[in-house]
Amino acid sequence: MAVASRYLPQSHRLRLAILAAVAISLFVPLIARLWYLQVIKETAFVERAADNTTETIIELAPRGRILDAKGRVLVDNRASILVTIDKEEMASVPVDDLQELFYDLATEISRSGNLTKVTEIESAYRSNRYGPFAEVPVVQDISEELQIYLAEYSYKFPGVNTTVTTVRDYPYGSLAAHILGYVGLLSEDEISSVALKAKTYLANDEIGKSGIELFYEDALRGTPGRKVVTVDKFNNILEINEEIPAKAGSDVQLTIDIDLQALAEQELARGLSTARQQPTKFEEEGVVIFNAPAGAMVVMDPRDGSILAMASHPTFDPELFVSGISEDDFDDLTDPGNFLPLLNRAIQGTYPPGSTFKPFTAYAALDTGLIGSRGILGIDDPFYDEGVFLIPSCEGGTCRFQNAGEAAYGDVDLRLALTYSSDVYFYNLAASFDILPGFDLESVQVAAKYFGYGSRTGVTLAGEGSGRIPTPASRRDAYRENPDAFLTGSWLTGDTLNTSIGQGDVLATPLQIANSYAALVNGGTLYAPNLGQRILDPITGETEVEFAPRVLKEIFLPDAFSDPILEGLAAVTTWRSEIGTEGTAYNAFKDFPHEEWPVSGKTGTSEKQVENALIADYGLFVGWGPNPDPEYVAVVILEEAGFGGQVAAPVVRNYFEMIARNSVPAYLSQAEKDQIAREEATKASFNTNNEIDQPNEEDGVS
């Protein structure tokens, strides 16, 4: 090549030289730049790369809604502005200035309408539940004006930020509060729970604490989103490494009908108010005033165990928990002096069922043959009730038992014993179980357990009470634990008598009573009561899970057993003899539309010792209809209110009459009420303006 080049023309050699010069001029800067970047700037780039970090951003997911049986929203979500403290940034504030900062922040928040104490902010900041780099929530639901103010004067509040989050919203206010429940911040125990880690709970997250919010937490809780990003030292996102979108929680639809629920709460409150207005009751020890401070009501469908309404009084406002309940408010809600508003008496209150228990003693007598061909009585055989019963061959304990007021009913058979609620008739049955050979003294207890007494019903709510069915064994155990509470650890015949009429140590929740009657009137199927109907996709509304009726057991209940019991109970609301003897709820139902909507029932009055050793009457009533295939069973209990036939039966009567006449009022949400108010105001304004603009005939226009 070198030899050949000598023979190239001069012009060709010149062009090659120029190309070589150009190539060299291009490569020299490139090589110089590479040397500069790799050698001279190596340290700077290493330092800059070290400033880039990987962070995980959690995107909160909204909780699912809670709906009633007709799809109306009972619990929703709404946007809320939250004040937070950045613990990492706040750590740079001098200790002496920190207290002043907290004071200024509490002052500004309080001025905006959210009363906040300095100690509350300081307590949140110093809480061990939040790590050193956490954003600590301080106050929910601040105004937009305060949010703007804190942003404008951020130099005065280093480490104080605001963010928009979602909180629970209650379109119907406090209605169904005990059913719906409330949410609150995770406790220390909940934070460490392995069961919670599947849905990525953080220290400042909320969780269902009671009611449906707690029981269906797994469905209602959304799955938070997760984004892993690379950011520089100025917190600018350089790269998204991984992204999982947030998934909203599922909606839960209940069996509750909000109109029936509202009616139950209104009638329960009215019944208690009416009971307080009764004339004072006189006892030997003094005067008993009908305080009627509290009560409960349950309405269910006996055909499948669905709960249609459940009321407990006094109630509470779940809105108190939305922004974090204050210590004073929580103390008020848990104060026995305020009658424990947070207590759901329908499932957690346990009461002696009184005479509402008698149908199950009757069942025990029929099932064992005590009433029957080999027993002491036939179904139609009369037993003479003289108002008093003496235990045969009684040698210890109480030997004399009586009807209320020693009322004598004369000849009563099984049906009339239920209609009149004759204690003496059932005392005779109980004594026979205890004394006669060939019969088990625990026959009443066995029958009661068939119908669900003494164990939880399995309702889809947490915290349910189990009640109590006393036995000789349980009496011995109770005596060993607390001998001062009992005269003896032995089971006496008198204990069997008290048990037979739902007194003594018998305790039941209102829901247990309702469920036992549901089984009695539906032919013997004992259901686990349901509040949840289905779980729905929050986007499409399609059913994800359908909850079928849950059968606990099938009770042996032939017509030969159920017919006389139900016939006697049908007469409770309708029977009045020629001599004026009435069913115990006759007066409450005497003008009820029985022809179109037949109702049966059972009254009960249980006794409880209150202050000064006085005995207070708790009024109970169970009703069902329309017969012969009831769709509703309702139970009401009114504490310290008087006799069941006088105070509790009218509550169910009023409730059923609204249903029978198809006049249950539609209960409006607050938004619906506001809309109606706006429409009425607009209409009134239009009418006023129209009247002003109308021409007057005196002006020559006709």
Residues 584-597 pLDDT 10s: 999 999 999 999 99
pLDDT score of 685: 78
Strands (E), 170-305: 183-185, 206-208, 225-231, 237-244, 251-254, 281-283, 286-288, 295-301
Cα 497 to Cα 164: distance, rounded to the nearest angstrom: 63
Has residue 700 got a pLDDT over 50?
Answer: no
Q: What is the C-alpha separation between 465 and 346, in angstroms, rounded? A: 9
Does the pLDDT value for residue 200 go beyond 50? Answer: yes
Structural tokens at position 652: 């169910």
- Using 50, 70 and 90 to split pLDDT, how confident is the model at 522? very high
Q: Is 506 helix (H, G, I), strand (E, B) or coil?
A: coil
pLDDT band at 702 (very low <50, low <70, confident <90, very high): very low
- The predicted model gives 77-104 an average pLDDT of 85
Residue length of the chain? 702
The pLDDT score that the predictor gives to residue 2 is 46
The pLDDT value recorded for residue 10 is: 64
Residues 6+ apart with CB under 8 A from 697: none
Q: Which residue has the higher pLDDT, 131 or 36?
A: 131
In contact, 596 and 571? CB cutoff 8 Å: no
Decide: helix, strand or coil at residue 317.
Answer: coil
pLDDT recorded at residue 33 = 63
Query: How big, in percent rounded to 5, are the helix, strand and coil portions of the chain?
Result: 40, 20, 35
Are 299 and 307 a contacting pair, CB within 8 Å? Answer: yes
Task: Give whole-number Cα distances, 339 to 368, 633, 639, in Å.
Answer: 42, 27, 11
What pLDDT is attached to residue 34? Answer: 64
**Stretch 529-551: mean pLDDT:** 97
pLDDT at residue 1 above 50?
no
Which of the listed ranges 158-172, 378-392, 485-499, 669-683 does the model predict with the highest average pLDDT? 378-392
Contact 255, 306 (CB under 8 A): yes
- What confidence tens digit (pLDDT) does each residue in 212-262 have? 999 999 999 998 887 777 877 666 777 777 778 889 999 999 999 999 999
pLDDT at 699 over 50: no
**Whether 311 contacts 429, CB under 8 Å:** no
Band (pLDDT 50/70/90 cuts) for residue 288 is confident
Indicate if the pLDDT at residue 198 is higher than 70. Answer: no
pLDDT at 690: 66
Q: What one-character DSSP code corresponds to residue 530?
A: B
Longest alpha-carbon distance in the chain: 150
**Contact (Cβ atoms closer than 8 angstroms) between residue 439 and residue 425:** no
Percent of the chain with pLDDT over 70: 86
Instruction: Give the model's pLDDT for residue 701.
Output: 39
User: Each residue of 121-143: pLDDT tens digit?
Assistant: 888 888 777 767 678 888 888 88
Condensed to tens digits (0 to 9), the pLDDT of residues 252-262 reads 999 999 999 99
> In sequence order, what E strands does 87-224 have?
135-139, 160-169, 183-185, 206-208
Contacts of 328 (CB under 8 A, 6+ apart): none
Give the pLDDT confidence score for residue 596 in this predicted structure.
Answer: 96
Supply the pTM of this predicted model: 0.86
Query: Could you tell me the CA-to-CA distances from 398 to 59, 357, 467, 482 in Å, in that order?
Result: 69, 21, 25, 21
Centre a 10 Å sphere on the Cβ of residue 540 and count the other Cβ atoms it contains: 8
Q: How far apart are CA 54 and CA 220, in angstroms?
A: 31
pLDDT at 445: 98
Q: Which of the four pLDDT bands, split at 50, 70 and 90, describes residue 697?
A: very low
pLDDT of residue 205: 82
Collapsed DSSP state (helix, strand, coil) of residue 50: helix
